[in-house]
Structure formats: C-alpha cells, structure tokens
Amino acid sequence: MAYTLSNLLVDTLVRLGRLKLSVATGGSTSTAVDSTIIGLDNDDDWKNGYLFVVSTTDGLAPVWEYKKVSGYTSTTGTFSTATFSAAIGAGDRFGYTTPYEFPIDTLISLANLALSSLGEIALVDTTSVTASGQTEYTNAVAWKRRKPYRLDIQTNTTSGDYRWEPINFEYIPAAPGSTGLLVLDADYDAGKYLRVWYDGVHPELSVYNSAISETIPPELIRAMMYEKVLEWKNNELGGTNDFMLRVWEKAQQDLNFARAIQKIYKPHRDNNHIKLGRI
C-alpha cells in the first residue's frame, strides 16, 4: 500500500499531539459518532477542523479520506462533515483535529516543501511513439531540470515483452516553461515507444490519496515533515516559546540521523549502465 498525503498528515499530527483518536459507534457519509465522548467537549469545539478516517472494519472506503468538520454536537458525540465517498460505520477508527494551531492547508504546503527539500528523485516516463522519417521528439518540461540520463526504445511489440534497448540521443533545452527536444541518433521504425530516465522534482501532493514515491523511505519523509512543521511554528511564534524551540532542535537532530540512515532510492549510473539501489 502506498504511503500517501493522508498518512503523512496523520502521522505528523499524532507526533505533534494534535490529533485525537476515536472508534466510531455509528455514522453516515457526512457524520461520525462516538458515544463514548459525549459531554467531554463543547458544541462546535471541533468546527472547521478536519476528521480523518484512519481505518475501517473492511479496509475499504472511506479509509484515509479526510473532510472538514462543519459542526460538533457534544450531547451525542456527533461530528458533521463534508461528504465522504462511503459511510462511516461502527468500529471504524477516526481522528480529529482543531483548525487553529496547525491548519491542514498549511500542513499540505509544508509536506510539498519537505519533499522538495529532500532533492530530486528518479523518474521514468514512457512517452512519444516514433514516427517514420523523424528523429526529433518533444522534450517534456519536467525533463528540463537537468538532461535525461538514459533513453530506451521499444524493440518488440508484444505487450509485457517490449525488450527495451538504450539508444544515444542529444538533449536540446528551450525557453522557460516551453518544451525542448530529444534528438535521436537515427531514424527508427515507426510505432515504437520511447522511455526516458531522468531526475526530477516529486509530483505535488494535493488530495488525500496522493502517493509519496516509494523511492523515499517513509521514515525519512516523516522526519523531514516534522522538522518543517516545527520550523514553521517557531517562525510563527517568533522564537518566543522555549519548549517549542527545544522540540525543533531535537527534530533537526533526528532528521540528520534519518538522512544518514534512510537513503533515497536512485539508479547508480556507471559507464551508461544503470544499477538500482539506494544512495
């Protein structure tokens, strides 16, 4: 199972001590009920916060979805939310948080900042189909961060047995925001796919099930995210909270340790041969 934006947000909020967890005694597509917390909070204490479904009894939707809380009724332990894709039922586990200290939109921005701070990741695109009499093919904007380091061509048309072979090519950049060119070393047979290997930025996380690349160990992105969130919080507080400063300093130490132990997976490139491993 992929490690997703929702997983990262829940793990971060739990570590910050800002996510309360409950087991539903009932619910619907727009409510979650926990009768065991009746009277513990005031009406609408959790309004405008977010509710995360962290597990379901059958492992199906709406697991890992999260929605904004539109109201809370203390006398019944009922959270009203935006509509989930399926009903929350008895036995499902959910977490809920306030909108104040660590707003979800801010955490999502920090998650993307954390990913970019980890550097480039190895990416592969299967792209243009070769055409007769053509050696120049559009170079996607995503490949322009640096020259692609390998280009393969399909040599067999049988699905699942394409028998990719590396070929030589030239890389032609272009103006910012526009596509450049890959120039092949020969005019290849028409109808063959090209496969491009390159280093690039991680795709943006935007929805609950946005997957984080498996090339990044979850332990590493969790450490980076936690450090980024604490940096942001200390900046917001103007460095006036001694406890928060100490926690941030410890998070920086933990991140340095994680960077040393948990390595991002990248191909080793040696004399035009690619070997897979973590570096």
**Number of domains observed in the structure of the chain:** 2
Q: Among candidates 88, 83, 98, 82, which has minimal Cα distance to 23?
A: 88
- The domain boundary residue, chosen from 148, 168, 200: 200
Cβ–Cβ < 8 Å for 59, 34: no
CA distance 173 to 180: 5
The pLDDT-based confidence of 270 (bands split at 50, 70, 90) is low
- Asked if residue 193 and residue 163 are part of one domain, the reply reads yes
Q: Which helix or strand (DSSP H or E) is residue 101 part of? A: none
- Asked if residue 62 and residue 125 are part of one domain, the reply reads no
Q: Which residue has the tokens 């947000």?
A: 9
Does 166 fall in a domain?
A: yes
Where in 56-202 does DSSP place strands (E)? 66-73, 78-81, 93-97, 121-129, 136-139, 150-153, 165-166, 169-172, 180-184, 193-200
Does 253 fall in a domain?
A: no
Tell me the residue range of the domain where 47 lies.
Answer: 19-100
- The domain boundary residue, chosen from 200, 220, 254: 200
Does 232 fall in a domain?
A: no
Among the ranges 29-38, 126-135, 174-183, 192-201, which has the highest mean pLDDT value?
29-38
DSSP letter (8 states) at residue 67: E
pLDDT at 271 over 80: no
- pTM of full prediction above 0.85: yes
Does 158 fall in a domain?
A: yes
Does 237 fall in a domain?
A: no
Query: What's the pLDDT at 275?
Result: 47
Cβ–Cβ < 8 Å for 113, 70: no
Cβ–Cβ < 8 Å for 117, 158: no
pLDDT at 274 over 60: no
CATH code of the domain in which 167 resides: 2.40.30
The pLDDT-based confidence of 236 (bands split at 50, 70, 90) is very high
CA distance 202 to 270: 24
The string of pLDDT tens digits covering residues 134-148 is 999 988 888 888 889
Does 66 fall in a domain?
A: yes
Over residues 170-195, mean pLDDT:
92
The pLDDT-based confidence of 164 (bands split at 50, 70, 90) is very high
- Asked if residue 65 and residue 125 are part of one domain, the reply reads no
pLDDT at 277 over 90: no
- Asked if residue 139 and residue 94 are part of one domain, the reply reads no
Does 70 fall in a domain?
A: yes
CA distance 97 to 70: 13
